[in-house]
Amino acid sequence: MKLATDARIARRLRIGFGITLCLMIAIVITGITYPSRANPGFDRTVKVNNADIKTGNSARAASAGITYPIGRILIAQDGAVSEEVRKGINEIKAIQKKSIEAFEALENSREGKQLVAKLIEEHSGIIY
């Protein structure tokens, strides 16, 4: 403590700036080395999540696209129109099935596989 009271102001400032400089260097070194170690895991997580989101959105879009054709079947009096719409619905179901199978293949966690199995079970009459 005697150093702080007996030292001249210039010496105290040098010591303070020296400590600040050492701390800044430690922060910069940590900032440079840590992201390079965390980057591979982060890249994989981002790619998997983006693929999951894309697959989920295509399945959702296919589900949303089914409502209009069902309405056309209910309203249409002509059997040919109903048959044409049923073909479109089957195409949408194929897209939906493909998306869910891709989603199932991407999922590698136990909890994720259980959720996909639950999704398939709940929508088995619609999708498959």
Hey, where are the domains in the chain?
2-127
Q: Shortest CA distance to 82 belongs to which of 92, 69, 94?
A: 69
Residue with the two structure tokens 């430690």: 26
Q: For position 128, what pLDDT does the model report?
A: 46
Note the pLDDT tens digit of each residue in 90-106: 888 887 788 777 777 77
Distance, CA of 8 to CA of 14 (rounded, Å): 10
Distance, CA of 2 to CA of 72 (rounded, Å): 91
Contact 65/92 with Cβ under 8 angstroms? yes
Note the pLDDT tens digit of each residue in 106-121: 777 787 778 777 777 7
Residue 23: pLDDT over 90? yes
Q: For position 100, what pLDDT does the model report?
A: 76
Contact 16/60 with Cβ under 8 angstroms? no
pTM of this structure = 0.47
Q: For position 43, what pLDDT does the model report?
A: 67
Q: For position 123, what pLDDT does the model report?
A: 67
Note the pLDDT tens digit of each residue in 46-80: 777 777 777 777 777 777 777 777 777 777 777 78
Q: How confident is the model at residue 22 (pLDDT cuts 50, 70, 90)?
A: very high
Query: CB under 8 Å, gap of 24 or more: what pairs does 111-117 form?
Result: none
Residue 11: pLDDT over 70? yes
* Residue 46 CA neighbour count, 13 Å, CB half: 6
Contact 110/87 with Cβ under 8 angstroms? no
